[in-house]
Every structure is written in C-alpha cells, then in structure tokens.
Amino acid sequence: MSDTPQKKVVRVEQRAQAPGAHSSGDPGAGPAWTPTPEAKAKATRLRWIAWAAWIVAIGLEAFAIFWVLKQVPVIFWLLIVLIVATGVLSVLGSLVWKQANRLDPASRQDAVRFFIQNQLGAIVAIIAFLPLIILIFMNKNMDGKQKAVAGGIGVVVLLIAAAFGISYDSPSQEQYAEETNIVQQLTGEDLVYWVKGGSVFHVCEAVPDVNKESADGQIYQGTVAAAHEAGKERLTKRWQSEAVNYCGYSDEQVAAVEAAVSGEGPAVGDPATGADEPGSGEAGTGASGTEESGTEETGTEETGTEQSATP
C-alpha cells in the first residue's frame, strides 16, 4: 500500500451521444456520433463567440489598412497596437472554436467541411494578417526601418495566431463513436478516466498514468464526450495493455472487443454467441468508480516512447 494519500475521484457530468447515434462508418445510416442537445447548444454559443472575436479582428485589420496606413506620417504606435490586438482576438476566437469542435465534431465523411471546420482558426488568421503585412511592406508613408519593425511584428503575430488556429489532432464523429464503442464493449458502460494536465483518457482508474502526482490530486471520470470536452484528445493508444495489466481484463476479452469494434466478430456479451459479458474482468476496476491509492498525474503520459507500445 502506498504511503501517499488517495486521489479523489470526481464525476464529470455526462454529455453522452444522443439516442439513436451509432458507431458504424456507413454514411447512409446517419451521423456516426451526435452530441446531446445541451452540448450542441453550447457548441453553437461558443461558435458565435468565436465569430464575434474574428469579425472584430478583421475589422481592426480593415481600419489599419484603410485609415492608419493612409496617414502621413503613419501613426506607428497605433499600427503596432492594432496588429497585437488583432492577434489576441484571432487566438481567442481559435481557442473558443476548438472547444466548440470538441463538443460538436465534424464527420470525416465530408472531407471539405471536416477540413474547414477544424482549420478555420488558421484560415482566419491568414485573412486577418496577410493583406495587412503585404500593404505594410508596400506602404510609401513609412521608412525602411518602420516597415521592417511593423512587418516583422506582423509576421510573428501571424505565425502565433496560425499556430493556435491549426487543429493538430482534429476531433471527428467517427473517432468519438469508435472510442465510445471500445469503452462500452470492454466495460459495459460509457465511462472513462483522466487527469488534469494529461492529453488522453483511460479505461479504468487503476492505470499508473492517472495515479501519478498532479496539481489538484484528482482523477476525473465521465463519458468519452465529457473527456473530450475537458480537453483530452483521444483514448490512450495503450488501452489494450492497460486493460490487461491494470484493469483486470483478459487477453481474450480485449481481443473480443477489438474484433467486435472492427466488425470482424460479434458484440461482446451477445447471448447468441456466448461471448463474455462486458466488464467481467476479475478486477472490475473499469466500472467501479472507486478510488485508487497512489500518486497523482504529472501530465507526461504517453510520451513518444510510450505511444509506440501499440500500433
């Protein structure tokens, strides 16, 4: 028994997929995954906020282009302020937009919409800065030094805003459906575990990554959708080994889940096949919801070497 105090397990309110959602990739069967009405409404509000920030950012760009750059001489300090303010609003809009996408992701079936929805922050950043930067370097009312300073700041702010706008691990309905299916097939319910500072979530609370030291000393539990809403990018790639080594499930159970999720086998717990019931591992920690002793999360889970443990 560890001498460290037990971590508190905190239940996060579920934002499960709406009734009737499915996990197949058949576009004719409807969305692969759909959010609850509450999550959908929250995502819509966040998108309005993001658009408001972006519209103001583009408005500041237009003011700089059509008024500030036409002054003789150019009001240099005001130009710099407008560049920085445009960058802040662009980044703010991108962060809010990404949160909305975690609540209500797009489908990979529509490749164009999927790309635009997930990379819109970077697209807006380019629109908000590129014309202004070009016109700064072409401006006849500033000397070479002023152009270099203002243009250089504009380029740096553009790169920062675009970096925040890019979605490096874009969420999708198909991803949420697959992860939910894996968890439900394995544990019998849509319940996963994560910690503040980590980038992934897990199938039970006994895994070492959720028992390492963390700032708040808490383990969070909730649905797959709730984990994504909390900022977690995906289910750990090592869920198979964690299920066997820490969560009390057998290799056969994990293999049955993999087959069921891939469509190569029956659903786990199907009475017609005699497959094992979900969540029937000896430890049963995947759905216990009880506390585990140990240290807290450090936020270093799934480094490059750890991720390579499984395909």
Residues 10, 210 contacting (CB under 8 angstroms):
no
92 and 113, same domain (yes or no): yes
My answer on whether 157 and 185 are in the same domain is no
Q: Are 174 and 156 in contact (CB under 8 A)?
A: no
State whether 92 and 143 are in the same domain: yes
Q: Is residue 303 part of a domain?
A: no
The helix (H) or strand (E) run that includes residue 10 is strand 8-11
Q: Is the domain of 43 the same as that of 160?
A: yes
How high is the pLDDT of residue 262?
79
- Is residue 10 situated within a structural domain? no
Are 58 and 133 in the same domain? yes
Same domain, 206 and 158: no
- Among 100, 130, 165, residue at a domain's last position: 165
Asked whether residue 146 is assigned to any structural domain, the reply reads: yes
Q: What 3-state DSSP class applies to 33?
A: coil
Q: Is residue 309 part of a domain?
A: no
pLDDT of the residue at 293: 37
Both tokens of 302, joined, read 């799934």
182 and 110 assigned to the same domain: no
List, in order, residues 6 or more apart from 87 with CB less than 8 Å away.
129, 157, 158, 160, 161
Question: Could you list the residue range(s) of the whole structural domain that residue 110 is in?
Answer: 34-165
Q: Kindly compute the dihedral angle of the four CA atoms of residues 288, 290, 291, 293, in this order, to the nearest 10 degrees.
A: -60
pLDDT tens, position by position, 162-220:
999 999 989 999 999 999 999 999 999 999 999 988 899 999 999 998 888 777 788 99
Q: Give the count of beta carbons closer than 10 Å to the beta carbon of residue 286.
A: 28
- Is the residue at 307 inside a domain? no
Q: Are residues 106 and 183 in the same domain?
A: no
pLDDT for residue 212? 82
Mean pLDDT of the chain: 83
136 and 227 in a single domain? The answer is no
**131 occurs within a structural domain:** yes
Last residue of a domain, one of 148, 165, 182: 165
- Does any domain span residue 27? no
Identify whether 58 is part of a domain. yes
Measured between alpha carbons, how far is 107 from 152 in angstroms, rounded to an integer?
38
Could you give the number of structural domains in the chain? 2
88-130 residue pLDDT tens? 999 999 999 999 999 999 999 999 999 999 999 999 999 999 9
